[in-house]
Amino acid sequence: MTTQPKENYVHEFFRIFFANKQLAKRVFLVFAVIALVLPFVLKQSYDITAEVIVQSKKLSQSDTSSALTQEADRFIPPTLADMETESNILRSPTLIRQTIDQLRKDGQFKTEPGVLQRHVFTPLREQVLNPLKSLLGSEPAVQRDTELDALTDQAVKALTVETLPGSNVISVTYSADDPKVGTLFVSQLLDNFLKNRQDLQSNELPQSFYEQKKLHYQARLGDLEGQRMGLLTAISSSDPKEEITFRLNAINTEEQALNVQRDRQLQNQKWLEYLQTHLAAASKARIADYAFPYTFTTTLENVAFEDREIKQLGEQLTTQLARYNADRTVFQPGSEPMLLAREQIAQLRGQFLKIVENRIRERQQDLSVTQQVIDQKTQRIADYKARILQLRETQSKTRQLDTEIDALHKAFSTYAQRYEESRGQGLLDGSQSNARILSAPYEPTAAAFPKPGLIIPFGLLCGLLLAIAVVYVKEFFDHRFKHPAQIGQELGLPVLLVINDHAPALPNPHKTWSLPRLVHWVRN
């Protein structure tokens, strides 16, 4: 069993290519010449580009019969549908026709000869067909400026208006044969676009009306602001609301302090009554009855403060009483030690009661001071409440004025905006519009088409590929034997002898880089 030899495709490719190299050279050279000549034959065109940014969309436009309010002039970010609408306005044939007509009247738009060649039957229609229609009784078509129509159609086809993806920027590209005329056309087109948008958004009322209303609202605003300032000056306040909050906080603080003072007053008053009662009882008691039932200890913030003088005298008095009671069982009541002890106890007890009286007077004075503090805080709270009542009355009046002032501010702002729009001085530069020219058109220095840097390399590459394709097509339809293996495959006969042509190729006899040498290379 014999195996088929593996076919070498690379060898087969080069065999076919070199076997038909003369045809490949001729096809390639034809396309190379076409690629070299084509950039100089094609008509040049220049691309003029510009960009327009739409900052916002104006809503609820009012008319002459509706009231002007601030809500009638709201601006919101444009949506995709709004950007498509703006693009349609910019590419509309009406706007393009208006722009071309203006440039023609100014003598800046030149008519291209190729445009009017499509309208060779226009004189025939105007001079023959229209009079015949008049004789037959039918009304002839309205005469139109066919040249302007042709220029408009051409400009519509040459103009490309696109919204840049994901942005509020509109890109404008115009392809023109004359870069100067194309730049003038794009500039005028953008100016007309901004002017038409401004005309759509502005009110049709006369300028004097807006100016009069603006002055009226301005005077009314000044009067209301003066009244408001007078009210605030009368009560010596710049912001009643803020001061009311401050006064309420002060009242809260004073009431807390007042409650503390009242609690302290009640406590001191009860202790004073207690001390006075027991001081009277202690003054009438016998010499050896008991000590004073109060330690005069003061507690502040869970910390106890003792009266040292009272404590020392109380301890001495208690010690002497204990000693006196112990001596009574030993000595006679009229004895000298007992008399001396009673005298010492009476003297020490008198000192103790005198100090207690001083402490009671201190309590009375503290109670009097507390009462004065309570009276002062009560009066201060009453003053705060009276001030709050005055501030609230003023706040109510100023709130009414603020409501009217805000309404006048909105109306004044609306009329001022309408007044500025009606002036019409800044329409051409787009200063009063919510659309701006982001990139102004400029005259290009190089043609956008044709581009030799792209046409020549791609032409040579296409020529080479086409030459290879022609060679393979020819090989496909050529059924002659090209190599000995085809005889055995097609006829089934063995090949006994192959004679190769060893005749050497003749060299090119012409000079290097000369035209005859190139012709000889192409033929051979």
Mean pLDDT of the chain: 75
Same domain for 469 and 430: no
With respect to residue 446, please indicate whether it lies within any of the assigned structural domains. no
The set of residues, in sequence order, having a beta carbon less than 8 Å from that of 182 and lying 6+ positions away, is 46, 48, 174, 175, 176, 443
Q: Which of 375, 406, 439 is the last residue of a domain?
A: 439
Q: What is the mean pLDDT of residues 362-367?
A: 89
Distance (Å, rounded) from C-alpha 73 to C-alpha 85?
Answer: 19
| Residue 193 exposure: Cα atoms within 13 Å on the Cβ side | 28
With respect to residue 444, please indicate whether it lies within any of the assigned structural domains. no
Q: DSSP secondary structure string, 175-196?
A: EESSHHHHHHHHHHHHHHHHHH
Note the pLDDT tens digit of each residue in 18-49: 667 777 777 877 877 787 777 776 677 788 88
With respect to residue 226, please indicate whether it lies within any of the assigned structural domains. no
Note the pLDDT tens digit of each residue in 471-523: 778 777 776 766 677 777 777 777 777 776 655 666 666 666 666 666 666 66
pLDDT reported for residue 427: 43
Same domain for 471 and 433: no
Note the pLDDT tens digit of each residue in 311-335: 888 888 888 888 888 887 888 878 8
Same domain for 347 and 489: no
Task: Please name the helix (run of DSSP H) or strand (run of DSSP E) that holds residue 437, with its range, or none.
Answer: strand 435-439
Closest to 72 (Cα-Cα) out of 91, 58, 57: 58
3-state secondary structure of 328: coil
Distance (Å, rounded) from C-alpha 428 to C-alpha 420?
Answer: 14
**Residue pair 470/234 in contact by the 8 Å Cβ criterion:** no
pLDDT above 50 (res 341): yes
511: its two tokens:
């000079």
Same domain for 152 and 119: yes
pLDDT reported for residue 142: 47
Same domain for 507 and 492: yes
Same domain for 457 and 517: yes
With respect to residue 219, please indicate whether it lies within any of the assigned structural domains. no
Same domain for 170 and 141: yes
**Residue pair 141/147 in contact by the 8 Å Cβ criterion:** no
With respect to residue 495, please indicate whether it lies within any of the assigned structural domains. yes
With respect to residue 227, please indicate whether it lies within any of the assigned structural domains. no
Most confident option among 373-377, 406-410, 417-421: 373-377
Same domain for 274 and 196: no
Distance (Å, rounded) from C-alpha 266 to C-alpha 460?
Answer: 115
Q: DSSP secondary structure string, 461-488?
A: HHHHHHHHHHHHHHHHH--S--STHHHH
Kindly report the number of other CB atoms within 10 A of residue 472's CB atom. Answer: 13
With respect to residue 231, please indicate whether it lies within any of the assigned structural domains. no
Range of the domain at 25: 9-41+451-523
Is the pTM above the cut of 0.85? no
Same domain for 248 and 393: yes
Same domain for 277 and 413: yes
Q: How many domains does the chain have?
A: 3
Q: What is the mean pLDDT of residues 233-252?
A: 87
Q: Helix (H) and strand (E) counts for the chain?
A: 16, 8
Kindly report the number of other CB atoms within 10 A of residue 479's CB atom. Answer: 9
pLDDT above 60 (res 115): no
pLDDT reported for residue 131: 62
Note the pLDDT tens digit of each residue in 381-413: 999 999 999 888 888 888 888 888 888 777 777
pLDDT reported for residue 383: 92
Same domain for 189 and 331: no
Same domain for 16 and 119: no
With respect to residue 65, please indicate whether it lies within any of the assigned structural domains. yes
pLDDT reported for residue 287: 67
Distance (Å, rounded) from C-alpha 387 to C-alpha 154?
Answer: 80
